[in-house]
Amino acid sequence: MNDNIFHLTLAIPTYNSEKRLPTLLEKLKNQTFEENINWEIVIIDNNSKDRTALVIENYQKTWDSKIPLRYFLEKQQGAAFARLRAVKQARGEIIAFLDDDNLPASDWVAQAYAFGQKHPQAGAWSGQIHGDFEIEPPENFERIQAFIAIREHGEKEYLFDPYNLRLPTGAAFVVRKQAWCNSVNHVLVFKGRLGKSMVGGEDLEPLLYIHKAGWQIWYNPAMHTYHQIPHWRLEKDYLISLARGCGLCHCQLRFINAKTWQKPIVFARTFLANLRRVIRHLVKYRGQLKYDIIARFEIEFYLSSMISPFYSLKCYFDNKFGNNKVVKT
């Protein structure tokens, strides 16, 4: 086998993960395969302030040389920058992304690679993501669990629905490098959640470009990952901020698959559809929003989605007149 040819790159964008990374790296040490796969691990340190770099340096000293463990520092803050750097550095034809709080099953890498071989038209794919909760989640949490990257969609393969923004989460997903490099050659609007801003969209935007270029996006139930959810991600303030951030990017994401003449229609439909959702939700849960965190999350998401057309206008003018840094591939 040619050592310069890698079938797969396992990419880990990370930030302040000195305590999380060792658990993930131990999981990767124990991956099992039915066929010989030449793969590597690439860690993108997104400007960490803790001892993440030292942790990786110590691991590299004792790492199995058959699986290269490579480290890169990306100083531009944001998940979008980290992923772009991962794609640039990846030597594999397939790039499998794991967040630093994802714990893959022992055959996750093998299943990710096998699916790509089985579906050559797949530009991206993702599997089942289960919750590993530090504390018990609130009642009816399953209604909003997808917003915290928990996806359990059954045991059958299927194509995602990009036109309705039904797509994989940014955690534990896989892309074909050719699909990314040939498709995601745009200015990226969404950079990731930075500081107090919880505006999302950085997960879905590249996938929408990949789909727009003609690639398929699949759900592969054979890939299992466990997402560690600390207690603070179930607290009211965090959940409300998350709901608002997920809603604000809604219209701008829909614009990606729209022709120029369709964008005013998308603008109006997004506003009106979510206005209806807000009204229906208020009628159904009136008197409960103060106490029911799940219902409160949902209406915050609908409200933010309703105003997302106006947020998209703000993004447009900020980018046009240089008031907002953008991400370029």
Q: pLDDT tens digits for 145-182?
A: 999 999 999 999 999 999 899 999 888 999 999 999 99
Residue-wise pLDDT tens digits, 261-289: 999 999 999 999 999 999 999 999 988 99
The count of domains in the chain is: 2
Read off φ and ψ for residue 72, nearest 5 degrees: -140, 140
Query: Do the beta carbons of residue 153 and residue 221 sit within 8 Å?
Result: yes
**CATH code where residue 127 lies:** 3.90.550.10
> What is the domain range of residue 250?
238-328
* pLDDT reading at 114 higher than 50: yes
26 within domain boundaries? yes
52 within domain boundaries? yes
- pLDDT of 153 reads 92
Residues 187, 254 within the same domain: no
Q: The pTM is what?
A: 0.91
Residues 156, 177 within the same domain: yes
Reported for 264-270, long-range contacts at CB under 8 A and 24+ positions apart, including other chains, are: 266/309, 267/309, 267/312, 268/309, 270/305, 270/306, 270/308, 270/309
How is residue 78 written in tokens?
A: 């944001």
CA distance 35 to 48: 36
Residues 250, 208 within the same domain: no
Residue that finishes a domain, picked among 218, 233, 248 = 233
Q: To which residue do tokens 């991400």 refer?
A: 327
Q: How far apart are the first and last CA of the chain?
A: 31
Nearest to 148 by CA among 11, 242, 13: 242
More confident residue, 314 or 9: 9
Residue 114 DSSP symbol: H
Binning pLDDT at 50, 70 and 90, where does residue 6 land?
confident
Mean pLDDT of the chain, nearest integer = 91
* pLDDT reading at 321 higher than 90: no
Residues 255, 165 within the same domain: no
Binning pLDDT at 50, 70 and 90, where does residue 187 land?
low
**Which ranges of 171-262 does DSSP label H, i.e. alpha helix?**
177-183, 204-212, 236-248, 250-256
What is the number of other CB atoms lying within 10 angstroms of the CB of residue 266? 18
Read off φ and ψ for residue 78, nearest 5 degrees: 130, 140
265 within domain boundaries? yes
Coil, strand or helix: which one is 287? coil
Residues 60, 192 within the same domain: yes
Residue that finishes a domain, picked among 233, 251, 283 = 233
Residues 312, 185 within the same domain: no
Residue that finishes a domain, picked among 208, 233, 258 = 233
- pLDDT of 329 reads 42
276 within domain boundaries? yes
Residues 214, 69 within the same domain: yes
Residues 98, 141 within the same domain: yes
